[in-house]
Amino acid sequence: MKTGFQNLSPAIEPIRWDSGTLYLLDQRELPQREVWLEIRTLPPFLDAVKSLAVRGAPLLGIAAGYGVAVGMFSSDAKTESELRGTFKTVREQIAGTRPTARNLFDSLERMERVVEKFASQGREKLLYELLGEAKEIHRAEVDNCLAIAEHGAPLFSNTKRIITHCNTGVLATGGIGTAFGVIHAVHFLFGLENVWVDETRPLLQGARLTAWELGKLGIPHRIVCDSTCASLISRGLVDCAITGADRIAANGDTANKIGTFTLAVACKHFGIPFYIAAPTSTFDLTKKSGAEIPIENRDEREVKGFRDYIWAPENSRAENPAFDVTPAELITAIITEKGVIEKPGAKPIVF
């Protein structure tokens, strides 16, 4: 795929396969340390996904492809029925890690089709094809980011101040990013005065990861507490908002990191545009509306503290839904690699 933004390159490559080993940049350690996980068996892979060492919907899709490869390469399955049985177990374990990001399941379905086609042709052939499919998923998501930037950037020619939520850059996608890729392209083309970076409670993907990526690329930015958004917008300091997505239903309702809905409501209240940028691998057209999207609930300790430090009273309980659903009517447009869906709530989405 050719786009006008081939010159934009991401700050780092967070995932790669080399000689039978999956290398993952451990995002739990950023921005203080760049630590690489070397993964050769399934249990550490599952742990890396659950604990957010690797995260972000498109990157979870890429990781799921390589995770299947890790699980199959590290097994001693030989016969067709052993290969099929091992794949089933690997698929179930990966599917049980994080329920909301559609890309993870999209990749597992792709890998399953490879098993259907090649399991009868022996272990070597199947492993070769599975690794090829994982690499193809990876390559496609990198391309998707460039195409999203190409479709999205022209919408922002008069934009100088953008607010974003969570992390949607290379650390979440493997490419230049979805919402982040648009921001990068807009800065490259038109020059941005400021990107407001929601810190993104409770795991600080904005303050730790988005700020780190923007800093590496020299894009001007300020971190704000998530709860600042309405005040910033009311003071005329924000032209528009753009975020990524974890799963988009057929009516355009969009699940994304907790706090996205709040930001979209504030944008609607003050009459500024709210955009989503996501590849079509994030859409789940089997879900009629956002009410059908599974929302991950995570450990309450993530809300009660950070890393090993707990600041909340031991006996106070906390709730930790990792995502919320923004109704389509609050979304100005969804930018995909195939084009821009204006007013996504107006009619059902088809590709």
Total residues interacting with ligand MRU, rule: CB under 6 A: 19
Give 107 or 173: the residue with its C-beta nearer to ligand MRU. Answer: 173
Name residues contacting ligand MRU, limited to 61-80 (CB under 6 A): none
Which of 106, 239, 246, 284 is flagged as catalytic?
Answer: 246
What is the C-alpha to C-alpha distance for residues 106 and 99, in angstroms, rounded to an integer? 12
Q: Is 166 in the site for ligand MRU (CB under 6 A)?
A: yes
Name residues contacting ligand MRU, limited to 100-139 (CB under 6 A): 101
What is the C-alpha to C-alpha distance for residues 190 and 184, in angstroms, rounded to an integer? 10
Q: Is 205 in the site for ligand MRU (CB under 6 A)?
A: yes
The answer to whether residues 275 and 179 touch, using CB atoms and an 8 Å cutoff, is yes
Give 123 or 208: the residue with its C-beta nearer to ligand MRU. Answer: 208
Exposed/middle/buried for residue 308 (C-beta within 10 Å: 0-12, 13-18, 19+): exposed
**Cα angle vertex 343, ends 252, 339, to 5°?**
80
The count of C-alpha atoms lying within 13 angstroms of the C-alpha of 10, restricted to the half-sphere facing its C-beta, is 25
Query: What is the pairing mode between strands 240-243 and 161-164?
Result: parallel
Name residues contacting ligand MRU, limited to 214-273 (CB under 6 A): 243-246, 256-257
Of the candidates 75, 159, 173, 254, which one interacts with ligand MRU according to CB under 6 A? Answer: 173
What is the C-alpha to C-alpha distance for residues 229 and 317, in angstroms, rounded to an integer? 26
Q: Is 176 in the site for ligand MRU (CB under 6 A)?
A: no
DSSP state of 309: E
> Whole-number minimum distance, CB 133 to ligand MRU, in Å?
21
> Whole-number minimum distance, CB 336 to ligand MRU, in Å?
12
> Whole-number minimum distance, CB 279 to ligand MRU, in Å?
8
**CA distances to 89, 192, 198, 210 from 221, in Å:** 44, 9, 10, 10
> Among all residues, whose Cβ is closest to ligand MRU?
244
Is residue 308 among the annotated active site residues? Answer: no
Q: Is 326 in the site for ligand MRU (CB under 6 A)?
A: no
Residues with active-site annotation: 246
Footprint on this chain of ligand MRU (rule: CB under 6 A)? 52, 55-58, 101, 166, 168, 172-173, 178, 205, 243-246, 256-257, 322
